[in-house]
Amino acid sequence: MTMLDDVLSHIDANLPASLDRLFHLLRIESISTDPAYREQVRAAADWLSGELDGIGFAASVRPTTGHPMVVAHDPDDAGGPHVLFYGHYDVQPVDPLDEWDSPPFEPRIETVDGHEQIVARGASDDKGQLMTFVEACRAWKAVTGSLPIRVSVLFEGEEESGSPSLKPFLEANAEDLRADLALVCDTDMWDRQRPAITVMLRGLVGEEITITAADRDLHSGLYGGAARNPIHVLADIIARLRDADGRVTVPGFYDGVDDLPADVKALWDSLGFDSDAFLGDVGLSLPAGETGRSVLEQIWARPTCEVNGITGGYTGEGFKTVIPAKASAKISFRLVGGQDPDQIRRNFRDFVEGHLPADCSVTFAEHGGAQALRLPFTGDALSRARAALTDEWGMEPALVGSGGSIPVVGELKQALGIDSLMIGFALDDDRIHSPNEKYDVSSFRGGIRSWARVLAALAT
């Protein structure tokens, strides 16, 4: 038996204790976007810092102007490449609460079609994922007393609310955090059998717009027909944001967007992606995006505009004949290639202002921005990680794109100059950001074992 075999056996033997620790973290209601949960977000950071200390890291909870960061270093320098592992301990809000089958912060294991699943908010995104790395480190330390390579850890508490503190924190702590390579665990497997390494990420621009017309709510009987209704104005603007072919109409939006290179297209075609099943799993049958693009292109390699929330007027039970003073929407753009988030934000704002009718005003609130990212498909660390994952899963990992943005990858590159290996164990059907979010126990176990192998592979 090699040391690695001992570590893997230890992981399997101690899986119940690993699950207990994950459940403890899942019970903490660390919703970062809602200020009412501030104390719980802090509690999650404190708990993680304590766990890392317990394993033998030198860990600390570092304040920011928002939620804190957890930073930990392994005091033993094992040599080899120095890696910085990143995960986030904050979670999405839980509404609509009435669609959860059990309370979102009371984790439980449910068996569905023979698969044991951990059901809770954050089970997959990202508490379950980050704990795979913590538990892998714990196993190495328990079995061998040390880690195969030099490891530092960074846990963020604002990933689900636009990561406002990330960039300034990385810049202010660049010396402390600099490593040779980042490991990021916030992505999916290809499917239950095949692991994946994500090498292409869409970027993001988040904007909230509020349109105001009259200076008060008006009775639609008394004023209807003469007074401007900001819900109509907002609907008109949203309708104009896309053309009949599903293309975004903001001027300059496609600057920096290239067609997919032939080699990437060939690789993706070889994956045998079943777009009917992908859509059918969520009750849909036809792709709704740009015409003439495959579903994989639409979700990995094409930019989008989505309204993520809209509200205006009376939205309670019953009816109220009001012309509201204002209406607002949360709108996000997914970016690819060389699209410039700042330029797109400016062009979007100009577009909205250009379509405002008389008597209306608009205010904008910024909710995060990140450039798209593409990693080289080759390289030593990538090859070693591919081999480690192949050993664990018995199958070569897919090299994939991801539709969601993971701003930290771009920030790590910009602030610290380091590339990221994005390896995650979530599944398509994990319902992240939705009611009844889950993480398969096989993802959790396989994730811990995979990291144990990757750490060893990077050392050799």
Span 124-163, contacts to a second copy by CB under 8 A:
160-162
Cβ-based nearer residue to a second copy, 95 or 176: 95
- Token pair, residue 393, equals 């899963």
CB of 356: closest distance to a second copy in angstroms? 12
* 431, 433, 435, 438: CA torsion to nearest 10: 40
Dihedral sign (CA 367, 368, 369, 370): negative
Cβ neighbours of 365 (radius 10 Å) = 11
Using CA atoms, how far residue 278 sits from 48, 294, 297, 373, in Å, is 35, 12, 13, 24
Contact 91, 31 (CB under 8 A): yes
CB of 138: closest distance to a second copy in angstroms? 30
CB of 228: closest distance to a second copy in angstroms? 4
Cβ-based nearer residue to a second copy, 53 or 342: 342
Q: Which stretch binds a second copy (CB under 8 A): 44-52, 92-100, 342-350, 379-387?
A: 92-100
Phi, psi at 267, each rounded to 5°: -60, -45
Cβ-based nearer residue to a second copy, 324 or 446: 324
Cβ-based nearer residue to a second copy, 114 or 316: 316
Contact 393, 446 (CB under 8 A): yes
CB of 300: closest distance to a second copy in angstroms? 9
DSSP 326-387: EEEEEEEEEE-TT--HHHHHHHHHHHHHHT--TT-EEEEEEEEEE--EE--S--HHHHHHHH
Name which position in 214, 257, 271, 459 contacts a second copy (CB under 8 A): 214
User: Taking CB under 8 A as the rule, does residue 88 contact a second copy?
Assistant: no
Dihedral sign (CA 379, 381, 382, 383): positive
Interface positions, 396-435, toward a second copy (CB under 8 A):
402-405, 428, 431-435
Interface positions, 22-41, toward a second copy (CB under 8 A):
32-35
> Whole-angstrom Cα distance, residue 158 to residue 153?
16
Cβ-based nearer residue to a second copy, 75 or 216: 216
CB of 282: closest distance to a second copy in angstroms? 4
Interface positions, 288-347, toward a second copy (CB under 8 A):
288-290, 293, 295, 298-299, 302-304, 306-324, 327, 329-330, 332, 334
CB of 340: closest distance to a second copy in angstroms? 19
Interface positions, 230-269, toward a second copy (CB under 8 A):
231-232, 234-236, 238-240, 242
CB of 378: closest distance to a second copy in angstroms? 26
Name the burial class of residue 70, with classes exposed (0-12), middle (13-18) and buried (19+) by CB atoms within 10 angstroms of its CB.
Answer: buried
Name which position in 27, 150, 367, 386 contacts a second copy (CB under 8 A): 367
> Whole-angstrom Cα distance, residue 460 to residue 458?
6
Name which position in 87, 157, 195, 206 contacts a second copy (CB under 8 A): 206
Name which position in 116, 191, 217, 353 contacts a second copy (CB under 8 A): 217
Cβ-based nearer residue to a second copy, 219 or 346: 219
Interface positions, 164-193, toward a second copy (CB under 8 A):
none
Cβ-based nearer residue to a second copy, 308 or 414: 308
CB of 246: closest distance to a second copy in angstroms? 8
CB of 400: closest distance to a second copy in angstroms? 12
Contact 213, 342 (CB under 8 A): no
> Whole-angstrom Cα distance, residue 140 to residue 138?
6
Q: Which stretch binds a second copy (CB under 8 A): 137-145, 216-224, 340-348, 415-423?
A: 216-224
Cβ-based nearer residue to a second copy, 23 or 278: 278
Return the ∠ at Cα 175 (arms to 172 and 177), rounded to 5°: 85
| 343-348: Cβ within 8 A, 24+ apart | 343/252, 343/255, 344/205, 344/250, 344/252, 344/253, 345/205, 345/207, 345/369, 347/250, 347/251, 347/252, 347/253, 348/205, 348/207, 348/250
Count of residues engaged in binding a second copy, rule: CB under 8 A: 100
Name the burial class of residue 199, with classes exposed (0-12), middle (13-18) and buried (19+) by CB atoms within 10 angstroms of its CB.
Answer: buried
Q: Which stretch binds a second copy (CB under 8 A): 74-82, 102-110, 251-259, 274-282?
A: 274-282
Which helix (H) or strand (E) element contains residue 445? helix 441-459
- Token pair, residue 14, equals 């101690």
Pairing of strands 69-73, 196-201: unpaired
CB of 316: closest distance to a second copy in angstroms? 6
- Token pair, residue 405, equals 């943005």
Name which position in 8, 25, 213, 388 contacts a second copy (CB under 8 A): 213
